Structure 1
Amino acid sequence: MKLPGWQALRRGWLLYHLAEPHFAFMYDDPPDQEWVALDCETTGLDVRRDQIISIGAVRIVGNRLLTSQRLELLVRPERALKVDSMRVHRLREQDVAQGLDPAPAMRQLLDFIGSRPLVGYYLEFDVAMLNREIWPLLGVRLPQRKIEVSAMYYDFKNRQLPAHQRGGAIDLRFATMMNELALPLREAHDALNDAVMAGLAFLKLRRLLAGA
């Protein structure tokens, strides 16, 4: 498909700034009806100082979550893990010591994602953490479309309310969302488990919103 002039110019500008031409596929049209559900575990919640220690990703095709097409990576941080973060994700120093350096981990992840849109729960944080590693490597940030599951859930719940109550606060906690959608809760704060659950929520909400 031929791109409109401004889109072709923008794509050319982005490719010009891409440090590794191998990853030009990120700017291709995504495969039809395909997405990647994504989650990262980190040493903390500070985007400027904390680091990624594990990544989980799983492909979605049509109405199916393909757990046979998944990516699970440990990433070796530069600094020692904090005790508080170990209590959350249950990864120990000896676990992450076997992980990849950030650069090869990012390359594996980008090859897995391709140009597919990204799906996640509070995805903005994960993308910010990934972009911090990808920017110095490639000179660009993740260009794929991002789909926030909590925003889909908010839209779904909001539509169920009487008109005069719409636009108010809705409980967006992950466990609440999964319970309301009658979806199984796996053990949380495991990157692959969280990616799988976000993918399941995406598929169900997509069906519910389409039928609303």
Structure 2
Amino acid sequence: MFKKISNYFNKKNLKDDKFSYLFENSSNEEFVCFDCETTGLDPKKDDIISIGAVTIKNNTIVSSKKFVRFVKPKTKLQAEAIKVHHIRECDLESAEDIDDVILEFIDYIGNKPLVGYFLEFDIAMINKYLKPKLGIKLPNRAYEVSAIYYDYKIEKIPQSNIDLRFDVIMEDLKIPTMGKHDAYNDALMTSLIFIKLLNQPNVKIK
């Protein structure tokens, strides 16, 4: 109910009616799993430097439908961020402008439900650019894989301490790692977590 009310007021702020399809109802047959790499960890002052996304349909990753873009940031890359994603400023010299990438990304996701790990941060980063451009925040339903994993584990082992670190979840679900942590590989690995959880007994998403 809260989501419906929130989206009602969100839609009233939409600057361009051609994007009204974002607010249409969607089924749970197709999802988009995405990840952002950034200059730092503060959505208010840091910038996106890459977005990676994959489409999930009928429990399958649609390999022909992927989204990979690099973005030239306006703020300086933080040393701690470079240690994680290994993207340097010289790697972004031919990167695209965020205003173009955001619209391409919105076109890619449409009104599909979104999936991610640490998804609240990634959505906040997208909204940072989307709101000034279209007047809205992402209205899509969102599914955080660590929350789904927590519910799955707590039912099996009540009152336990559940480790929600990405690599721990991957190991517990026996999902192979895909090498370096970039936006596309992280989206791909997260989508595998999501699919694996959806196929566990008693795991349901709304």
Matches of 2:5 and 2:160 in 1, distance apart?
Answer: 41
- Decide whether the 8 Å contact of 1:41 with 1:189 is kept in 2: no
Count of aligned positions:
203
Q: Where in structure 2 are the equivalents of 1:3-152 lying within 5 Å?
A: 14-152=10-148
Matches of 1:17 and 1:157 in 2, distance apart?
Answer: 40
Matches of 1:174 and 1:10 in 2, distance apart?
Answer: 30
One-letter amino acid of the counterpart of residue 127, structure 1:
I
- Decide whether the 8 Å contact of 1:15 with 1:21 is kept in 2: no
Q: Provide Cα deviations, 1:108-145, integer angstroms capped at 9, x if missing partner.
A: 00000000000001100100111111111111100000
- Decide whether the 8 Å contact of 2:32 with 2:114 is kept in 1: yes
Give me the CA root mean square deviation. 2.2
Displacement of 1:8: 9.2
Unaligned segments of structure 1, at least 5 residues = 1-6
- Decide whether the 8 Å contact of 1:36 with 1:59 is kept in 2: yes
- Decide whether the 8 Å contact of 2:70 with 2:95 is kept in 1: yes
Matches of 1:148 and 1:66 in 2, distance apart?
Answer: 20
2:178 matched to 1:186?
A: yes
User: Which shifted more, 9-18 or 117-126?
Assistant: 9-18
Displacement of 1:103: 1.1
Per the alignment, residue 4 of structure 1 pairs with none
- Decide whether the 8 Å contact of 1:38 with 1:118 is kept in 2: yes
Q: Provide Cα deviations, 1:57-90, integer angstroms capped at 9, x if missing partner.
A: 1000011011220000101101232333222211
2:169 matched to 1:173?
A: no
Unaligned segments of structure 2, at least 5 residues = none
One-letter amino acid of the counterpart of residue 73, structure 2:
P
2:187 matched to 1:195?
A: yes
Flag the 1:146–1:8 CA change in 2: closer, same or farther, 3 A: closer
- Decide whether the 8 Å contact of 2:152 with 2:203 is kept in 1: no
State which structure, 1 or 2, has the greater radius of gyration over its C-alpha atoms. 1
When the two structures are superposed, what TM-score results if normalisation uses the length of structure 2?
Answer: 0.90
